[in-house]
Each structure stands twice: as structure tokens, then as C-alpha cells.
Amino acid sequence: MNGARTDEERNLDPEMDDIRLRADRIRFALDVGGTGIWSWDGPAQAFVGDRGASILWGLRQGEALTSQVLEQSLLPEDRDRIFDELRRASSPSGPDQCALEFRIRRLSDGAERWIALNGRRYGTGPDGDGLLEIIGTARDVTSRKQRETHMHLLMREVTHRSKNLLAIIQAMARQTVKDSITAAEFEQRFSARLRGLAASHDLLAARDWHGAAVGELVRWQLGPALDTAGSRIAIAGPDLYLNPEAAQNIGLAFNELASNASRFGALSDLSGRIAITWSIDPRDSDARRFHISWEESGGPEVSEPGRTGFGHKVVERLAARALDGEVSLTFPPSGLRWSLHIPAAFVLDAADLPAVN
């Protein structure tokens, strides 16, 4: 009988091969999904993870994921909570499954990651009252947590911006009513201002509210006037970007300047011209400034208005106050001249902006 194999043993070979194949396929699927397997031994109060789980912890080949490694990697504020939850889940009076999310600091490189453990009771003790273990899966959910954090911050920002936007619209409505004689005049002026405000918002939304290119802001606010006037409007300046606050306030000013030029200034006839330029001081200091100007010429002769309305306030005061800047607004006979000078802190580095959506 020495060396001989029974029929029963030979019949087991295909079954063992099938079991190994199934195990390999399961392991392959877990690896593809970045999933590890862990267990918690209730009586021994011991945690252990397989190779897939060890990879999530950043452990090298041959290093085991144990209770000690788990404890050392957990952030202090999460440590007691996680072990308490594992003990509770392994208690006969506790829930039969657990779902935990917590942060770890990987011992190998110090990277902070979010881990999700999902487990369920497996088996009972000899007397049916002591749990042997909890078995479950482990996954790295850092990307999801980062998205959730980003979404939370985004919603707070949306709420803040919505309140500011409503305040601006209310002020625009109140002031436009004061400047309008008829309902039709109010509707025309208020709609034009809303379109200008919407143009700035659309431009900012295209870059996820990080900022707006000065050239694009100018062109969007000029709108149809740019198509009509063509080469009579000269736009020149370096490739600079403004943060959202500066873009909104300068956008409002340019909308009013364009409206005024169409009604009374350089765009009210076929000979007027407008030169729009911007620049930033070359020196790098706390006093560095961004400059932008609007100069009309060749149109009807102008003079300083005797009565000023909301548009005049926007052009002369709003941007300067909101952006800690200085405005120059003059009315020489040759045409209106406006310039704004604000701290360079409102200008962004193009490298920090996302691609246009």
C-alpha cells in the first residue's frame, strides 16, 4: 500500500484544482477592485489582513497587517472608536455586521488615507455565545472622501455666492427703478444689467469659479457692441486673470460703460472709437498694482452729466470700494475716460487655473 493512492484520493484532485481555480479567480477580482480581506478574532481581540489589505496600508511584501499595525496607523482621534466598534460587533449582544470608515497614516510613507471596512459575523463559539470572528472587506476610499469634501466646500461657496448675487440684484433693481421713468425703461435697463451680470457668471463658471481672463471678461461684457463696432474697439493687454471678486465688479463696470457708450458716447454714432487696455506693474512688491482703462474718442462731444444714476455709481464707486482701488472718471469733450487701479493680489497666476469647461 506504500505509495499507492486510493480512488477517493485520486477523485479529490479535480475537486482541489477546481477549488484553487475558484480561489484564484476571487483573488483576481478583489485585486482588480483594490479590495482586501480582513478578520477580527473576537476572543483574542486580534485584527489581521490579507495581502490585499496590507497593500492598502502601504506594507511591503512579507509585512503583516496586524492589530499592532492597525493601532499604530490609526489617527489618535479615530483609534478608540474603531476598536470599540470591532469589539461591539463581535459581542453576542451587538450588531451582526459593521461598516467603518476611518483615516490611517501609512507607516511606510506617512501618507494619510481613508479606509472603509465592511464586515459580518462568521461562526460562533463552542457554546454558541462567543463569536469566533468577523470577516469582511477593506477598500481605500480616499478619492470619494476628497470628492465629498470638495462638494461640501462647493455647496458652502454656492450658498455664499448666491446670497451675494441676490444682494447685488436687489440693489440693481432698487437703483434702476429710481433711474427709470416708465416700466418699459426699467425693463430694458434692468434686463441689460442682468445680462451683464450673467455674462460674468458664465465666464467664471467655465473655470469652476477660479477666475476669469481679463480679455475674455472685456469681450463678454461688450457683447453685440463688439460685433457692430468691429475695429473701432481696440482691446490690448497681457494674458492676465482676475479672481472672481475682481471679475464680477469689473464686469459690472464694463457693462455700464458699454451701455453708456451705446446711448451717449463713442458707440452712439459710426465714427467713435474705444481703446481698452490693461497692465500690471513689473515690480514685485506689496504696492504692486493692476491697471485697466477705457478711453473713448471720435464720437459726440461729451460733458460731465448733471444728474447721476446707478450706472454712474457702479462705474465710479462700486469696483473701487469692493476692490480697495482707485477710480478716475473724467469727461473731456473728446470722450469719456475711465481707469481703475487695484492691488495686484486680485490678479491670478494662469498656472493655478483649471482648463475651461
The answer to whether residues 242 and 120 belong to one domain is: no
Residue that terminates a domain, selected from 93, 122, 140: 140
Dihedral angle, C-alpha 220, 225, 227, 233, nearest 10 °: -90
Q: What is the pLDDT of residue 1?
A: 45
Q: Which of 86, 92, 105 is nearest to 47 (CA)?
A: 86
Q: What is the pLDDT of residue 5?
A: 57
- Whether residue 84 is contained in a domain is answered as yes
Grid cell 452712439 in the structure block, residue = 268
In a domain, 96, yes or no: yes
Residue 5 lies in a domain: no
CB 340 within 8 A of CB 327: yes
Q: Which residue has the cell 502601504?
A: 58
Instruction: Provide the residue-wise pLDDT of the chain in tens; the chain has 357 residues.
Output: 455 556 555 555 677 766 777 767 767 666 766 799 999 998 888 999 999 999 999 999 889 999 999 999 999 999 999 999 999 888 887 788 899 999 999 988 999 999 999 999 886 655 555 556 899 999 999 999 999 998 998 888 878 878 887 888 888 888 778 878 888 888 888 888 888 888 888 888 888 888 999 999 999 999 888 888 888 999 999 999 999 999 999 999 999 999 999 989 999 999 999 999 999 988 766 778 999 999 999 999 998 887 777 788 889 888 899 999 999 999 999 999 999 999 999 998 766 566 655
* Same domain (yes/no): 207, 254: yes
Same domain, 183 and 328: yes
| CA–CA distances in Å: residue 135 to residues 82, 86, 115, 123, 314 | 15, 11, 16, 10, 66
136 and 149 both lie in a single domain: no
- Whether residue 34 contacts residue 48, with contact meaning beta carbons closer than 8 Å, is answered with no
Q: Is residue 179 part of a domain?
A: yes
Please, are residues 180 and 186 in contact by the beta-carbon 8 Å criterion?
Answer: yes
pLDDT at 180: 80
At residue 195, the pLDDT reads: 87
| Residue 198 confidence (pLDDT) | 86
**Domain extent at residue 67:** 12-140
Boundary residue ending a domain (98, 123, 140)? 140
Query: What is the side-by-side strand order in the sheet with 65-66?
Result: 65-66, 46-49, 35-41, 131-140, 112-124, 97-105
> Same domain for 272 and 190?
yes
The residue among 327, 273, 330 whose CA lies nearest residue 300 is: 273
Does residue 311 lie in a domain region? yes
Instruction: Tell whether 166 and 134 lie within a shared domain.
Output: no
CA 107 to chain centre: 30
Residue at 233 is within a domain: yes
Residue 357 in any domain: the answer is: no
pLDDT on residue 237? 95
Whether residue 175 is found in the same domain as residue 123: no
- End of a domain among 79, 110, 140? 140
What pLDDT is attached to residue 133? 84
Asked if residue 237 and residue 101 are part of one domain, the reply reads: no
Q: pLDDT by residue (tens digit) across 149-194?
A: 989 988 888 788 788 878 888 888 887 788 788 888 888 888 888 8
In a domain, 2, yes or no: no
Residues 324 and 188 both lie in one domain: yes
CATH code, 115:
3.30.450.20
State whether 292 and 170 are in the same domain: yes
Q: Do residue 149 and residue 63 come from a single domain?
A: no
Cell of 270: 459710426
How many structural domains are present in the chain? 2
Three-state SS sequence of the chain: CCCCCCHHHHHHHHHHHHHHHHHHHHHHHHHHCCEEEEEEECCCCEEEECHHHHHHCCCCCCCCEEHHHHHHHECHHHHHHHHHHHHHHCCCCCCCEEEEEEEEECCCCCCEEEEEEEEEEEEECCCCCCEEEEEEEEEECHHHHHHHHHHHHHHHHHHHHHHHHHHHHHHHHHHHHHHCCCHHHHHHHHHHHHHHHHHHHHHHHCCCCCCEEHHHHHHHHHCHHHHHHHHHEEEECCCCEECHHHHHHHHHHHHHHHHHHHHCCHHHCCCCEEEEEEEECCCCCCCCEEEEEEEEECCCCCCCCCCCCHHHHHHHHHHHHHCCCEEEEECCCCCCEEEEEEEHHHEECHHHCCCCC
Task: Indicate whether 50 and 123 sit together in one domain.
Answer: yes
Q: For the domain that residue 226 is a member of, what is the CATH number?
A: 3.30.565.10
